[in-house]
Amino acid sequence: MTLPTRLLCLTSSICALTFFYSCKAQDKSIIAEGAELTLVASDYKFTEGPAVDKEGNVFFTDQPNNRILKWSLDGNISVYMENAGRANGLYFDHKGNLLACADEKNELWQINSDKSITVLVDDFEGKKLNGPNDLWVDPKGGIYFTDPYYQRDYWSRTKPELEKQQVYYLAPGKSELIVVVNDLVQPNGIIGSKDGKTLYVADIGDKKTYSYTINEEGILSNKTLFTEMGSDGITLDNQGNLYLTGKGVTVFNKSGVQIAHIPIDQGWTANVTFGGKNQKTLFITALNSLYTLEMNVKGVR
């Protein structure tokens, strides 16, 4: 057993105890009894963007290495795509295509089943996007995505072309973007409710997360402060609990009350989603690693 493995075992034991105390206020813990945080792999540079397909396989990105990985139901991890457009956030559309926030050229990609690529969006009103980051597909097939600006060393530009860091909506069958949020500092994580009525957006630059009502044509209204905490990636479970990332994973119920904290022995936790056969496994990307944790709740895909 290597030193990192021994440390992980110790961390997992501590985490299990922390889970118990973090969740004891609930009638039933959201974390499966006896579950421990499991390190799946740790040979990456920076993991991001986990997304689950209809079978429960989980795809995630190793952004600095410019590739997309696939965790399969048999527990194996394989390289799904090299030269992946410096993909960050991922999400599957209703047809089974993998959507990717490909910020190498500031584009939104559709990766088809044969791994051919369709560029869905590459600008806004003739100006280069900042860098699509995270996305969510609504029940109609429309795509919401965040567009913060993070300077990349592989870009030739050194400043944004757009004045604001915004949230956009791409309606089904359309090619023109609609601005749906334009008053945040640095929008990042984004997720919507299964019924398509509520959208959550994390403003990591202002350390806040908001909820919005989704109206006809994808337009948002009723901006409401959900919690005084920002986030990188975010997700929801089938009870309506919202999972925020950064320093581990912090879980809030639908009223915005913190109900759990999952500590991760890494300097940064980037993203989170549910996967596996029954979507009861929480997948967590954190710096060079991928972790899993068995849950009592499940995802809403």
Q: What is the pLDDT of residue 131?
A: 97
Q: What is the pLDDT of residue 6?
A: 33
Within 13 Å, how many C-alpha atoms sit on residue 101's CB side? 34
Rounded alpha-carbon distances, angstroms, from residue 231 to 117, 249, 266, 270: 29, 9, 16, 8
Return the structure tokens found at 93: 């559309």
Across the beta sheet with 198-203, the strand order is: 187-192, 198-203, 208-214, 220-227
Q: What is the pLDDT of residue 184?
A: 98
Find the length of the chain. 301
Q: What is the pLDDT of residue 19?
A: 45
Cβ contact 109:120 at 8 Å: yes
Domains of the chain in start order, with CATH, are 3-294 (2.120.10.30)
Please state the three-class secondary structure of 233-265 as a single string.
CEEECCCCCEEEEECEEEEECCCCCEEEEECCC
Q: What is the pLDDT of residue 301?
A: 76
- Mean pLDDT split into 10-residue runs, the chain, 301 residues: 36 41 55 96 96 97 97 97 97 98 97 96 96 98 98 94 98 96 98 97 98 96 98 98 98 97 97 97 98 97 76
d(CA 49, CA 47): 7
Q: What is the pLDDT of residue 28?
A: 67
Instruction: Mention every residue, 6+ apart, whose C-beta is less than 8 A from residue 174.
Output: none
Cite the DSSP H helix spans in the chain. 3-23
Q: What is the pLDDT of residue 14?
A: 38
Across the beta sheet with 289-294, the strand order is: 38-41, 289-294, 281-286, 271-275
What backbone torsions phi and psi does residue 216 show, to the nearest 5 degrees? -60, 150
Q: What is the pLDDT of residue 66?
A: 97
Return the structure tokens found at 71: 């965790």
Return the structure tokens found at 183: 């008053």
Q: What is the pLDDT of residues 224-269, one digit of tens each?
A: 999 999 999 999 999 999 999 999 999 999 999 999 999 999 999 9
d(CA 277, CA 285): 19
